[in-house]
Structure formats: C-alpha cells, structure tokens
Amino acid sequence: MKANVNLFWILAVFFGLADVLYIVWSLTDTREIEEVGAVALGLSAILSLFLGFYLNRVHRHQGGELPEDILSANIDDGDPELGHFSPWSWWPIIMAGGGALMMLGLSVGFWMSFIAAPLLLVAVIGWTYEYYRGYHAH
C-alpha cells in the first residue's frame, strides 16, 4: 500500500504542475485561460490528493503491512479466495447483451426494453441454475 500512496502523491504533484503549465501556456497563446482543461487538471490533482491522503490514513491505521509491501512475502500471501466462477459459461455474455439492450431501450426506444427484460430474466435464471443441469449437475 505504500507504493500506492506514493504513486498518488506523485500523481497529485504531476497534475498540479501540469495544471500550472497548462494555464501559463494558454495565457501566452490566446491571452485567456482555457477553463475546461485547467479545471480538469486541477480536479485530477485534487482527486489524487484525496486518494493519497485516504490510502495513507488507512495504511497507518490498519495495524500491519500488506503482503505487497513485504519483500519476503509469497504470492499466495495476498491471494484470497474470491469465489467460484464458471470457466465455460455463456450466461454472462447473454446477460451483458440483455443489459446493453435494456439500457439501449431505456435511452432510445422503450419498446426495446420489452425484448430485453425476458432476455435478462432467462440469463439470470440460466446463470443461477447452470450447475443443476447437464454435464456439471450436482
């Protein structure tokens, strides 16, 4: 986590300097400040400061080092159990397509949502119950 903290402090300094350079450059080129870029770089510096401060506080109060910060740590020390994932499942792709069609229907034409809703329902049921049928059934 120390590396992450240092990275965000460095990014905050970089974005701050880039913001100052951007403002000076726009003043010398057009005699006025280009607001959008200056605000974007300034907010990027502020966000990096927030993240660096937060991670620094968490690192100081967590009561120990992370495995990533210990040079003698093994890879398995920072490898928690994440859950069970289906390696050959097509249901996540169908669900993503149904979700994309649902968002498209909500933004373009509401009639598409009537096609996407059953597709999403079938994908959720299929993904939930895929280990109860077929080759991988319990």
- The 10s digit of each residue's pLDDT in 12-35 is 999 999 999 999 999 999 999 999
> What pLDDT digit, counting tens, does each position of 88-104 carry?
889 999 999 999 999 99
Say if residues 102 and 110 touch (Cβ distance below 8 Å).
no
Distances (CA, A) of 107 to 31, 94, 115: 41, 20, 14
Residue 129 has what pLDDT? Answer: 87
Q: Is the pLDDT of residue 87 over 80?
A: no
What are the boundaries of each domain within the chain?
2-69, 91-133
Residue 138 has what pLDDT? Answer: 65
Residue 24 has what pLDDT? Answer: 96
Residue 117 has what pLDDT? Answer: 95
Say if residues 83 and 65 touch (Cβ distance below 8 Å).
no
Based on the number of CB atoms within 10 Å of its own CB, is 63 exposed (0-12), middle (13-18) or buried (19 or more)?
A: exposed
